[in-house]
Amino acid sequence: MNKKRSQENQDRQARLAAIQAEQRAGERKRNALIFGGIGAVILAIIIAVTLVIVNQIQDNQRRDAAASQEIEGVQEYPDVAFEHVDGPVEYEQSPPVGGNHNPIWTNCGVYTEAVPNENSVHSMEHGAVWITYNPDIGQEEIDKLTELVGTRSYVLLSPYPDLDTPIAASAWGLQLKVDSADDARLGTFLDKYIQGEQTREPGAACSGGTTPAGRAS
């Protein structure tokens, strides 16, 4: 009897050991699947981030390469005046690319109404690029220009009534006129001339000045 009972105990222990071994194997398999899945997710994130970084680097390199070249169609106006004056100023170019200007600059940003020439010329002296557009170009084109400006600092965007071209990009002593917001030269103009070598007062602010009506951002 004792021998039979002992055999039964051994059989139960063997079955229990087999069940426990099977459970441990199942846990190892589940853990492998869980950690394998986590590893795959982490690897996918690393690959995605790496691709974004590589694409951004390549995009920056392309933009830098384009900005290092001359931009077709840019008109240069050397030796423009730069005195601070009160009152209105008659400018030779429309929009102006420099000249005597108000002592207070226009704060950079996107405007839905025209901004004063005299203050905005001062902004360009500080290194801003001023993008102006004929109000008749339509909202779709205006939205594209707004997207182009994005979060860039040292940019003015505003309508310019009676502009003789759909869009003009101006920096100190420089101007590019184009027919469409899709013109790739606009982005290159921004890359090249925002606080570019033409800037008369490098490091000067484009905030803390005056904010005319109609500022959107």
Structure confidence by residue, pLDDT tens digits, 9-37: 676 776 766 677 677 777 777 777 777 77
Residue pair 86/102 in contact (Cβ under 8 Å)? The answer is yes
List the domain range (segments joined by +) for residue 27: 1-68
DSSP code, position 101:
B
Domain membership flag for residue 47: yes
Position 150 confidence tier, pLDDT thresholds 50, 70, 90:
very high
Strands 129-133 and 109-110: unpaired
For position 120, which CATH number holds?
Answer: 3.40.30
Q: Which two tokens stand for residue 201?
A: 């007062």
29-69 pLDDT, tens digit each: 777 777 777 877 887 788 777 766 666 665 555 666 655 68
Claim to verify: residue 89 and residue 188 sit in the same structural domain: yes
Of 11, 35, 68, the one marking the end of a domain is: 68
Residue 19 falls within a domain, yes or no? yes
- pTM, rounded to two decimals: 0.74
The encoded tokens of residue 15 equal 């079955």
Residue located via tokens 């690897």: 43
| pLDDT tens string 111-139 | 999 999 999 999 999 999 999 999 999 99
Phi, psi of 102, rounded to the nearest 5 degrees: -65, 145
Last residue of a domain, which of 10, 35, 68? 68
Query: b/e string for 23-46 if b means 16 or more Cβ within 10 A?
Result: eeeeeeeeeeeeeeeeeeeeeeee
The whole-number pLDDT of residue 4 equals 60
- pLDDT single digits (tens) 168-180: 999 999 999 999 9
Q: Are residues 37 and 127 in the same domain?
A: no
Q: Same domain, yes or no, for 80 and 133?
A: yes
Say if residues 189 and 142 touch (Cβ distance below 8 Å).
Answer: no
Identify whether residues 55 and 158 lie together within a single domain. no
Residue 211 included in any domain: no
In a domain, 203, yes or no: no
Domains: count for the chain: 2
**Are residues 80 and 171 both part of a single domain?**
yes
Is position 214 within any domain?
Answer: no
- The answer to whether the CB of 174 falls within 8 A of the CB of 197 is no
**53 and 104 within one domain:** no
Q: Which of 148, 88, 149 is nearest to 119 (CA)?
A: 88
